[in-house]
Amino acid sequence: MQKKEFRRIEINELPKKIPNYKKSVESKDTLVYQWLKNWLTEGLNSKKLNYNELLPLKADLAYHLGVSVGTVQNAIRYLEDEGYLVSKQRIGTLIKDVNASDTQFRKLTSKREKVISELKRIIVEGNYKIGDILPSAKELGKMLGSCSNTTRLALENLSANGYIKTIPSKGMESTWHVTAIPEISDSIKNVDGIQTETLVSKVEEDIKRHIQENYQIGQKLCAHAELAQELGVSIKTIHDAMKTLIGKGYLLARRGRYGTTVLRLPNEAAQPVKKEDEIFASAQEAAFYNYQKIERYLKKLIREKYKVGDKLPSMGDLAKSLNVSTNTIKKALQNLYEEGCVDFSRGRYGGTFVIDIPEDISDPAFKWLAVNPQYVKVYKK
């Protein structure tokens, strides 16, 4: 399948009128999603648009709508979930027949769809009523084991479909109010009713099989682009699946020419670390990036010098004192935020605040103990 087989829609074919972001309480993601959906349905009904035509480039769409590329990407994801669009690597985003039962593109249930279903389940089983306030996106993410961005996108989807409504407030996280109760059949689904396996988890199994058949421990894995082409998915999907395998200890990823190395074959059980080996740095430890080292240092610093509610130095001050870039500090603090150790606040009195003291998970192989002789009882025969 070649890109030249499809016609790309020109920017001048788009409606001139764009959403008014300032006069709406809806997020930009939702407004752009609704704008695109209206344009697609009206264009297809009037025959101005046809199936299998390519949308304009995301950067061009973002410029036309006056939003970021990320906002356009999120809106397109909503429409992909509903079956209006499908993205194909190295080709672009194509208009799809929403009523078509089959597709030539490989796509399973997304993580976002699973979270949407679980959020509906929470509303129904939690006996929420219209007007009730849902927990924050952060709390919901922890409950469902999903990342903050996936949870936010799922909430935006429910908002776009009229189940909840957000009331943003300055300097605070948006509050989500229930506006409609999902039907039981729409929210409580068994395994037969919804495909619970995500594309990422399926590709993860494919990569494990590929490693088992083609690699030995210590060998460098092929590039993400090669794997994406072989498995028929996007590089982003490969990246997400590889990240999971790295977290499970199968792979070790390093930048540059080192690439991704096989640490353990999928059919081998994880070997427990021996106490006598703990005095040596593991391969994973030695391969830490700067931001991971800084993250570990900040955890130690918080444990020793800070308490809950304290404000950390600014990113600029931390970068200067630790002789690293502010971007490295930002990545380290973001990890601490995702672990629930710190939180960010904007405005004049904003900054980074400690909300939980990280645990010390270090377990030295040997500890030397000095004992005062006066506390030692001597037993004589």
Domain covering 111-187, topology: Arc Repressor Mutant, subunit A (1.10.10)
pLDDT for residue 278: 43
pLDDT value of residue 196: 44
The total of other beta-carbon atoms located within 10 Å of residue 57's CB is 15
Closest C-alpha among 98, 2, 84 to residue 36: 84
Assigned CATH class of 3-95 = mainly alpha
Q: Quick one: tokens of 236? A: 């982003």
Q: Cα(62)–Cα(358) distance, rounded to whole angstroms?
A: 40
Sign of CA dihedral 291, 296, 297, 299: positive
Task: Write the CATH number of the domain with boundaries 283-381.
Answer: 1.10.10.10
* Stated pTM of the model: 0.43
Residues in the chain: 381
Q: Which helix (H) or strand (E) holds 165?
A: strand 164-169
| Measured distance CA(24)–CA(349) in Å, rounded | 27
CATH of span 199-262 = 1.10.10.10
Supply the pLDDT for residue 55: 93
Three-point CA angle 232, 248, 216, nearest 5°: 70
Per-10-residue mean pLDDT, the chain, length 381? 76 91 82 92 92 92 92 86 78 82 49 81 89 88 81 83 76 76 59 50 87 88 83 78 87 76 80 45 52 88 91 92 89 89 84 87 49 52 45
Within the chain, strands assigned E span 85-88, 92-95, 164-169, 172-178, 251-253, 260-262, 342-345, 351-354
31, 21 contact by CB (below 8 A):
yes
| DSSP labels, 221-234 | PPPHHHHHHHHTS-
Nearest in space to 265 (alpha carbons), one of 218, 311, 230:
218
**Sign of the CA dihedral 16, 21, 26, 29?**
positive
CATH 1.10.10.10-classified regions of the chain = 3-95, 111-187, 199-262, 283-381
The predicted structure's pLDDT at residue 246: 87
